[in-house]
Amino acid sequence: MSTRLALSRDYPHGVPAFAAALAEPDFHRVKLDVDGSGRIEVVAFERRDVDARDEEGTRRVRVVLRQPVPPGQVPAVLERMLSGILVIERTEEWTLTPRRCDGRARVAVPGTPISAAGTMAVLPQAPERTRLSIDLDITAAVPLLGGGIERAVVAGIRGLTGSEHDRISRWLVRAEQAG
């Protein structure tokens, strides 16, 4: 069994600006730095241009991040399962074009039976406006408690999306001003 999380956020920036941000390793680190501690680690980053006849400017990006979750932000039901700090390992794979960005995400929480997988997309909404959509299935393979853990994880993610949205917005504004 798993619990689905679907959410979206709108941005006053075009797809090319978002694609440029997703092609930078620091963008991924900054967007997840919830507490401003700088403890988000980019474990691996690959970026390559794709030779595609019908889509000029196509890039593929793969980023692996390790994210410690600050104390007090871990749901109580999870804290009881941990022997130390909760660490999230997140892998994102993106196909970036000037017209849309499509991604896949996999999330693991080492030392726990919790994982997530799903898709992401950045699509145009109007000239110079985009929508980032995320659709994840969260799984906690714990008999009897799995559903409650999944709901706690979904609530935690929803709570963090506001500050993540703010960090993404600030990055895009700075990039626009610098360009």
SS3 113: coil
User: What number is the average pLDDT over the span 3-28?
Assistant: 94
- The class level of CATH for 3-178 reads alpha beta
User: What number is the average pLDDT over the span 169-176?
Assistant: 89
pLDDT band at 48 (very low <50, low <70, confident <90, very high): very high
Strand ranges (E), the chain: 3-11, 41-49, 59-68, 87-96, 101-108, 114-126, 129-140
The pTM assigned to this predicted structure is 0.86
Query: Quick check: 30 and 173 in contact, CB under 8 A?
Result: no
More reliable by pLDDT, 173 or 50: 173
Query: Quick check: 121 and 8 in contact, CB under 8 A?
Result: no
User: What number is the average pLDDT over the span 148-166?
Assistant: 76
Q: Which tokens belong to 83?
A: 């022997």
pLDDT value at position 16?
Answer: 93
More reliable by pLDDT, 153 or 87: 87
More reliable by pLDDT, 150 or 103: 103
User: What number is the average pLDDT over the span 85-109?
Assistant: 92
Residue type, 46: E
Domain spans in the chain, listed from the N-terminal domain onward: 3-178
pLDDT band at 59 (very low <50, low <70, confident <90, very high): very high
